[in-house]
Amino acid sequence: MNFLDALHTLPYWQLLTRLGEAEILLPVAVLTAIALFFQQGKRRLAVVWMGLIAMAILVTAASKIAFIGWGLGFASINFTGVSGHAMFAASIYPMLMVTFLAGDTRAGLRRALLLGCALALLVGVSRIAVGAHSWSEVVAGLLVGAAVTAAVLAVSRAGSLRMPVFVPLALLAWMSITPAQMQASQSHSLVTRVALNLSGHVVPYTRNDLLRSARQQVS
C-alpha cells in the first residue's frame, strides 16, 4: 500500500476536510474580525486581515476560473487551480489561534501560531486524502494563505485581547456543529458557472482534459 492509499484508508477525512470550507470558515473569520475591530489598537489588524482574505479569494477564484473556463493549467505538476480549502485554512486558523490562545508572551504566540499552521496543514493533507486536489494545488493554497497570515502578523500590535465571552463560545459551537450538519459546499459549482459564463463554453475543462492533452503532446 502506497502513501496515498494509506491516506484514503484513514477515518474522518471527509469530516476533517470540511474544516476548510468557505461557508464554515468565513463566518468565523468575520465574527473574529468584528470583535477585533472594537478592541483598542486592533482596528487596523481586523481591516487588513479581511482585506487580505478578500484578495486571496480573488487569486484563488481567478486560478480556478482560468482553468475551468479556458483550460489554463500546468499538466507537468497536475495543477488546475489553487486549493480554496487550503487557502482558507492557512489564512484563518493561524490568526484564530493567535487571537484566542497566544496571550502576551512570545512563547505563547509561537505555540498558537504553530497550532494554527498545523491545523491548516492537516486540512491541506485532507484534500489529498479525499482526492479533491493534487499536491501542487494544496501547496499553492497553503502558500497563498500563509502570505495572508504573515502580512497580518507583520502589522499586528502586541497587547492582550479582551474578547466578550460569547465570541469564543459562539465560534466553538459553530466549528463543532457545522462540519457534520451543514450542507456540502457549493462554492465549486458557483465558480464553475462563473467560468462558463465568462468563457462562453458549455462544458468545463477538467483535470482529465489537462492530462490527456499533455499525453497527446508527448506522443
100-124: pLDDT as tens digits: 887 777 888 899 899 999 999 999 9
159-204: pLDDT as tens digits: 555 666 677 778 888 888 887 778 877 888 999 999 999 999 999 9
**What phi-psi label fits residue 52: left (phi over 0), alpha (psi between -120 and 50 degrees) or beta?**
alpha
Distance, in Å, from the CA atom of 50 to the CA atom of 30, rounded to the nearest integer, reads: 7
pTM above threshold 0.85: yes
Q: What per-residue confidence (pLDDT) applies to 157?
A: 61
Crossing angle (nearest 10°) for helices 22-37 and 43-70: 160
Cell of 61: 477564484
Indicate if the alpha-carbon torsion angle 15, 20, 21, 27 is positive or negative: positive
